[in-house]
Structure 1
Amino acid sequence: MSELSDAEQDIVALVGTFVDREVKPVVQELEHADTYPENLIEQMKKLGIFGLAIPEPWGEASVSTPCYAAVTEELARGWMSLAGAMGGHTVVAKLLLAYGTREQQDRYLPAMATGEIRAAMALTEPGGGSDLQAMRTVARRDGDAYVVNGTKTWITNARRSQLIALLCKTDPTADPPHSGMSILLVEKGPGFTLSRDLPKLGYKGVESCEIALDDLRVPRSALLGDQEGKGFAQMMRGLEIGRIQVASRALGVGRAALEDSIRYAQERHSFGKPIWRHQSVGNLLADMATKLTAARQLVMFAARRFDRGDRADLEAGMAKLFASEVAMEVALNAVRVYGGYGYSTEFDVERYFRDAPLMIVGEGTNEIQRTVIARQLVNRFPIAT
């Protein structure tokens, strides 16, 4: 990866070694039991993974977005859930860096860099899905506090996080609706209830929760930044890094499926030769590798644009869309390469096939990504009048 410095390449290699030595030997047992990977998370903290997006003076090892994407890919290659454990955390860190007050940055970022504070983001509501402007969670002013009421769902790490970036309406009468949205930096307390953990096809080990907010009081200082009504635009910028992260997770799942398939296709023999020599299998491997390589270039393109400070919703959307669809295709083709064994829980390819759909529907469904891409194309290339 020529875009990475020598130090960043060392970081990626260190994470890769962690995955090979610590994650792969235990992932099948943890994943099948849906067990929270406490030991692995603690090792990720020691490696500094939760602080990769946090620069000095709050953190010690801030890296470029291409490096962050490569680290995410390595983690997902071992177990996609580990990459998910640091995804929302990074979005919140980026929100604080871009929009937080100095007091908010000093309060949260040092402990977030070490993983002592884990952060999550709360956008989706049970009846809203990707339609954020239809949200019903409202924060009303009451003296020097906000009183919050509503419900959020699909909150990764909600049970084990200490800080939640909550998108809500501080002016429910605003027109257009997004102009009345704000982000509150919420800590748990009276009125905050984890109502249930959501059962999932894949993405095991880390929890995805529904939370209920019933007259939750938070101080006025919990408002991200110093001005109400900016939350929608702030979160959309945060979701750019979020979508790059999800695309990188897809790369990791796809890469794991490809690597396992290449190995198995050399070990497994049929009709007197290794199965990769059968054209039908060899063609699968060729297509899998080609599409994954193309997807990685899209992810790195979006990552470089994000680092330049340019608007990257078009590029991040394309990366997330393409990488997630490729991961799903590669995971299915891995099952084809393995044949009947690909359907067995004795092999990891069935996990890849269960994990891959999350990247298609998470962080904005791919149908939403196509809408975002089309809108940005028209905005960037309008018809001359």
Structure 2
Amino acid sequence: MDLRLTEEQEAFAASVRAFAHEHVEPGVLERDRAGRWDPELWREVAAFGLAGLPVPEEYGGSGADVLTTGLALEALAYGGRDAGLNLSLGAHLTIGCMPIALHGTDEQKQQWLPRMASGASIGAFAITEPEAGSDTAGMKTSARREGDTWVLNGTKTFITNGGLADVVTVVARTDPDAPDGQAFTAFLVEAGWNGFSVSRELKKLGNRTSPTVELSFSDVEVPETAVLGDPGTALWAVGFECFDWERTCMIASAVGGMHRDLDECVRYAKDREAFGKPIGTFGAIQHKLAQMRIRLENARNLQRQAAWRKDHGLEHQIEASMAKAYVGEAAVASALDAVQIHGGWGYLDEFHVERSLRDAKLATIGGGTTEIQELLISRMLLG
């Protein structure tokens, strides 16, 4: 396995970092304080070519592989320091576009992917419910067939991009008596359909520039043409594929944040003086910096290994869960170190690292908690 980047990949990542530094980082502090989504910034990201990275070229995308898509998210996080934007873009790409690209009919792909790849339409994925998070099979949202139409009822929560999306992939129970692997179906539900609404906007600890909402479905009539994939197979075929993309690719955003925090801490340790000398000369600070670098290297290697194996069609589930579990916890640990290195200034939002701590915590929860990843790893070890 050779995880060295090609010259083309290195140049691409550098271009994304430069773009993010110029267009994304300015104003991020104010956007976070206001909890504000910036549609104009989204249009700039799309115009730069990031909104359709893994979408096949025939549908207007770049046809990028998992590793390259992750590189873009890592570079955007490093240069832009806007974890909320990264969250929305990552969700749009990995669990918005890819379910349609992988499981959609030709008509569904033609209808949605060109618009999503251009950024004109935003995608979202709705599987989590108020009483069904890690226990996805506990979903209560239902869809019953009435002739050529499905009638959808229920509630989904913690939905990234839910209030922005033009189309939401919704997983619902369609057979109450079938085993889990045959009981759930995915539907492409369009914004504006009768009975489909945002019932609540959720206020979050971090990633505040990305809107997260609760969605309500009240007798939403969904045509047969909006069924995504084979009926009954959504939990494994669609849902777990989305989780796989999150764990192998989307987690790269946290790696980019870790790298930027480390570089900022090194700079601060050289400039900040205490007792007549730079704080970087003190062993306590040096040890924190060293641990941040070790975590960064391990996090990046685990993420890229999982992405590389997925790209090459190799077994990668245990690598994906290891990456998700490690990166999330490492990002929080390094963010805590960054705050401590900055001392009192690190506790203020103007130095950004307090936001890094708030933003990093999501990586231990979203897309499958650390505990769920450890459970999956242990099950694969034990067979």
Task: Give the match for residue 158 of structure 2.
Answer: 154
Identity over aligned pairs, percent: 36
The reply to whether residue 111 of structure 1 matches residue 115 of structure 2 is yes
Measure the CA separation in 2 of the matches of 1:2 and 1:169.
41
CA drift at 1:3: 4.2
Task: Give the match for residue 63 of structure 1.
Answer: 64
Secondary structure of 1:346 counterpart: helix
Secondary structure of 2:187 counterpart: strand
Q: What TM-score, normalized by structure 2, do the two folds share?
A: 0.95
Q: How does 1:73-84 map to 2 (within 5 A)?
A: 73-77=74-78, 78-84=81-87
Task: Give the match for residue 383 of structure 1.
Answer: none
Q: How does 1:270-289 map to 2 (within 5 A)?
A: 270-289=274-293
The reply to whether residue 332 of structure 1 matches residue 333 of structure 2 is no
Query: 1:287-342 deviations in whole A, cap 9, x for unaligned?
Result: 10111111100000000111122343221111011011110000000011001111
Change (3 A) 1:52 1:249: same
Measure the CA separation in 2 of the matches of 1:103 and 1:375.
39
Which residue of 181, 206, 212 corresponds with 2:210?
A: 206
CA drift at 1:116: 1.1
Query: 1:180-202 deviations in whole A, cap 9, x for unaligned?
Result: 11111111210101001101111
The reply to whether residue 179 of structure 1 matches residue 178 of structure 2 is no
Task: Give the match for residue 241 of structure 2.
Answer: 237
The reply to whether residue 85 of structure 1 matches residue 54 of structure 2 is no
Measure the CA separation in 2 of the matches of 1:299 and 1:290.
14
Measure the CA separation in 2 of the matches of 1:59 and 1:378.
43
Query: 1:210-247 deviations in whole A, cap 9, x for unaligned?
Result: 0110000110111112x211101121022111122342
The reply to whether residue 134 of structure 1 matches residue 138 of structure 2 is yes
Measure the CA separation in 1 of the matches of 2:210 and 2:309.
30
Amino acid at match of 1:98: L
Measure the CA separation in 2 of the matches of 1:45 and 1:138.
34
Q: Is the 1:243–1:317 Cα contact (8 Å) retained in structure 2?
A: yes
Query: 1:152-187 deviations in whole A, cap 9, x for unaligned?
Result: 00001111110111111111211x223211111111
Task: Give the match for residue 314 of structure 1.
Answer: 318
Q: Is the 1:163–1:186 Cα contact (8 Å) retained in structure 2?
A: yes
CA drift at 1:252: 1.9
Which residue of 324, 346, 351 corresponds with 1:347?
A: 351
Measure the CA separation in 2 of the matches of 1:122 and 1:257.
32
Secondary structure of 2:245 counterpart: helix
Q: In the comparison of the two structures, how many residue pairs are matched?
A: 377
Q: Is the 1:201–1:355 Cα contact (8 Å) retained in structure 2?
A: yes
Q: Is the 2:185–2:228 Cα contact (8 Å) retained in structure 1?
A: yes
Measure the CA separation in 2 of the matches of 1:310 and 1:173.
34
Secondary structure of 2:351 counterpart: coil
Task: Give the match for residue 28 of structure 1.
Answer: 29
Measure the CA separation in 2 of the matches of 1:378 and 1:112.
41
Task: Give the match for residue 10 of structure 1.
Answer: 11
Secondary structure of 1:330 counterpart: helix
Amino acid at match of 2:295: K
Query: 1:325-378 deviations in whole A, cap 9, x for unaligned?
Result: 110000000011001111112210110011111111111111111111112223
CA drift at 1:101: 1.5
Measure the CA separation in 2 of the matches of 1:37 and 1:348.
19
CA drift at 1:60: 4.2
Measure the CA separation in 1 of the matches of 2:302 and 2:54.
20
Q: Is the 2:325–2:364 Cα contact (8 Å) retained in structure 1?
A: yes
Q: What TM-score, normalized by structure 1, do the two folds share?
A: 0.95
Q: Is the 1:246–1:363 Cα contact (8 Å) retained in structure 2?
A: no
Measure the CA separation in 1 of the matches of 2:43 and 2:110.
23
Measure the CA separation in 2 of the matches of 1:295 and 1:251.
6
Runs of 4+ displaced beyond 6 Å: none
Change (3 A) 1:308 1:169: same
Measure the CA separation in 2 of the matches of 1:172 and 1:6.
52
CA drift at 1:62: 2.1
CA drift at 1:7: 3.2
Q: Is the 1:244–1:319 Cα contact (8 Å) retained in structure 2?
A: yes
Amino acid at match of 2:21: D
Measure the CA separation in 1 of the matches of 2:26 and 2:211.
22
Q: Is the 1:8–1:63 Cα contact (8 Å) retained in structure 2?
A: no
Q: Is the 2:66–2:249 Cα contact (8 Å) retained in structure 1?
A: no
Task: Give the match for residue 166 of structure 1.
Answer: 170
Amino acid at match of 1:65: V
CA drift at 1:8: 3.1
